[in-house]
Chains A and B, each alone.
Chain A
Amino acid sequence: MKDVELKMIERAKALLESGEVARVVGWKKGDFCFDPSPAVFETVEELKDFVYDYFCGANLSKYLIQVSKKEGKTAVFLKPCDTYSFNQLVKEYRIKRENVYVIAVECLGKLDIEKIKGNGIVGVTGVEVVGKDVNVTSAYGNATLYKPDVVLTKCATCTKTHVAKDEEIILHEREAKDVNRFEEVEKLEAMTADERFAFWREQLSKCIRCNACRNVCPACSCLKCVFDNPASGIAAKANDDQFEEQLFHVIRAFHVSGRCTDCGECSRVCPQNIPLHLLNRKFIKDIDGLYGEYQAGEESEGKTPLTSFTEGDSEVNDVVYGEAK
Chain B
Amino acid sequence: MQEVTTEKKEFTPNIVAFCCNWCSYAGADLAGSSRLTYPANVKIIRVPCSCRVNPTFILKAFQQGADGVILCGCHPGDCHYVTGNYYTRRRMALLFNFLDYMGIEKERTRVEWVSAAEGARFSAVMNDFVETVTKLGENKRLTDLRVKEGE
Question: Are the C-beta atoms of B98 and A309 separated by less than 8 Å?
Answer: no
Interface string of B92-116 (1 = CB under 8 A from A): 1111111111111110011110000
Residues of B that sit less than 8 Å from A by CB: 55-56, 59, 62-63, 76-77, 83, 86-87, 89-106, 109-112, 141-146
> Min CB distance, B96 to chain A, in Å?
4
The stretch of A51-59, A173-181, A248-256 in contact with B is A248-256
Look across to chain B and name the residue whose beta carbon is closest to the beta carbon of A204. Answer: B102
Question: Are the C-beta atoms of A254 and B55 separated by less than 8 Å?
Answer: yes
> Min CB distance, B147 to chain A, in Å?
8
A188 CA to B103 CA in the complex, in Å? 10
Asked whether A243 is an interface residue with its Cβ less than 8 Å from the other chain, the reply is yes
The stretch of A3-11, A68-76, A83-91, A195-203 in contact with B is A195-203
Asked whether A238 is an interface residue with its Cβ less than 8 Å from the other chain, the reply is no
CB-CB under 8 A for A195 and B103, given A241-B146, A243-B63, A309-B86: yes
Residues of A that sit less than 8 Å from B by CB: 188-189, 193-201, 226, 240-244, 246-247, 250-251, 253-254, 257, 279, 282-283, 286-287, 290-291, 305-307, 309-311, 313-317, 319-321
> What would be 21 A-B contacts, judged by CB atoms less than 8 Å apart?
A188-B101, A195-B103, A197-B103, A240-B146, A243-B59, A243-B144, A250-B55, A250-B59, A250-B102, A279-B98, A286-B97, A287-B94, A309-B83, A309-B87, A309-B90, A313-B90, A313-B93, A315-B89, A316-B89, A320-B96, A320-B106
A241 CA to B144 CA in the complex, in Å? 6
Specify the main secondary structure of chain B where it touches its partner: helix
CB-CB under 8 A for A319 and B63, given A197-B103, A311-B86: no
CB-CB under 8 A for A254 and B98, given A246-B59, A247-B56, A316-B92: yes
Give the residue of B94, B95, B112, B143 whose beta carbon is less than 8 angstroms from that of A243: B143
Chain A residues closer than 8 Å to B111, beta-carbon distance? 315-317
Given A196-B103, A247-B59, 10 extra CB contacts under 8 A: A188-B101, A193-B105, A246-B142, A254-B94, A290-B94, A306-B87, A309-B87, A313-B86, A317-B110, A320-B97
Question: Are the C-beta atoms of B142 and A243 separated by less than 8 Å?
Answer: yes
CB-CB under 8 A for A282 and B55, given A311-B76, A313-B90, A320-B93: no
Specify the main secondary structure of chain A where it touches its partner: helix
Chain B residues closer than 8 Å to A279, beta-carbon distance? 98
3 closest A-B pairs by CB: A197-B103, A196-B103, A309-B86
Question: Are the C-beta atoms of B90 and A305 separated by less than 8 Å?
Answer: yes
Give the residue of A196, A257, A310 whose beta carbon is less than 8 angstroms from that of B94: A257
Give the residue of A201, A250, A319 whose beta carbon is less than 8 angstroms from that of B93: A319
Give the residue of B63, B95, B98, B105 whose beta carbon is less than 8 angstroms from that of A247: B63
A286 CA to B100 CA in the complex, in Å? 12
Chain B residues closer than 8 Å to A316, beta-carbon distance? 89, 92-93, 96, 110-111
Question: Are the C-beta atoms of A199 and B86 separated by less than 8 Å?
Answer: no
Chain A residues closer than 8 Å to B95, beta-carbon distance? 254
CB-CB under 8 A for A286 and B103, given A241-B146, A316-B89: no
A317 CA to B88 CA in the complex, in Å? 12
Most buried by B among A194, A195, A282, A307: A282
Chain B residues closer than 8 Å to A243, beta-carbon distance? 59, 62-63, 142-145
Look across to chain A and name the residue whose beta carbon is closest to the beta carbon of B106. Answer: A320
A215 CA to B93 CA in the complex, in Å? 28
Look across to chain B and name the residue whose beta carbon is closest to the beta carbon of A324. Answer: B93
Chain B residues closer than 8 Å to A310, beta-carbon distance? 86
Question: Are the C-beta atoms of A251 and B59 separated by less than 8 Å?
Answer: yes
Chain B residues closer than 8 Å to A319, beta-carbon distance? 93, 96-97
